């Protein structure tokens, strides 16, 4: 798990732009979409927000990309998945299902993934009354 204050300033600004004034960040988790570019996962009071950094022209110019911005009212289910490679590396994958799509957040530290799963399911119970 990570602390919101320790996130890169660009990522913090984008998160603040996407969340409302009445929202606050419950949990920050880092996943790895590739070797050097992590996924920044933020679980707030109303949504799951996943950001990553992309690079233009090599490693000199970068920008932040919003991979998914899911409100808890849109989420139909969440699963914590551990395949053989995840067990070897002590990692996990979160699978978040919405009406016609599934979003994967892969290669998260297993303990962080457990906290994220618990936080999302708790928020789903409060928001939707499901699970």
Residue 92 has pLDDT above 90, yes or no: yes
* Token digits of residue 20: 């409302």
pTM exceeding 0.85: yes
Percent of the chain with pLDDT over 70: 92
Residue 74 has pLDDT above 70, yes or no: yes
Residue 131 has pLDDT above 60, yes or no: no
Q: Where are the domains of the chain?
A: 4-127
Region of residue 73 (left: phi > 0; alpha: psi -120 to 50; beta: else): alpha
Q: What is the pLDDT of residue 36?
A: 65
- The arithmetic mean of pLDDT across residues 55-84, rounded, is 86
Residue 66 phi/psi, 5-degree rounding, is -90, 110
50 by DSSP, 3-state: which? strand
Average pLDDT, the chain: 87
The residues facing 25 across adjacent strands are 44
41 C-beta neighbours (distance < 10 Å), count: 26
Residue 130 has pLDDT above 70, yes or no: no
- Closest C-alpha among 113, 119, 42 to residue 83: 113
- The arithmetic mean of pLDDT across residues 60-77, rounded, is 87
Residue 45 has pLDDT above 80, yes or no: yes
From residue 73, alpha-carbon distances to 3, 106, 124 in Å are 26, 23, 8
- The arithmetic mean of pLDDT across residues 16-36, rounded, is 84
CATH code of the domain made up of 4-127: 2.30.29.30
From residue 23, alpha-carbon distances to 16, 18, 29, 102 in Å are 9, 10, 17, 24
């Amino acid at each position: 798990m990570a602390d919101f204050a320790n996130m890169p300033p660009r990522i913090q600004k984008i998160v603040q732009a996407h969340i409302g004034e009445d929202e606050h960040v419950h949990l920050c988790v880092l996943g790895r979409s590739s070797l050097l570019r992590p996924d920044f996962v933020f679980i707030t009071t109303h949504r799951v927000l996943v950001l990553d950094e992309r690079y233009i022209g090599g490693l000199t110019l970068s920008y932040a990309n919003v991979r998914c911005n899911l409100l808890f009212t849109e989420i139909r289910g969440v699963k914590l998945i551990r395949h053989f490679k995840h067990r070897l590396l002590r990692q996990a994958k979160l699978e978040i299902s919405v009406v016609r799509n599934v979003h994967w957040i892969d290669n998260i530290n297993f303990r962080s993934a457990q906290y994220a799963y618990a936080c999302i399911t708790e928020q789903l119970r409060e928001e939707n009354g499901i699970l």
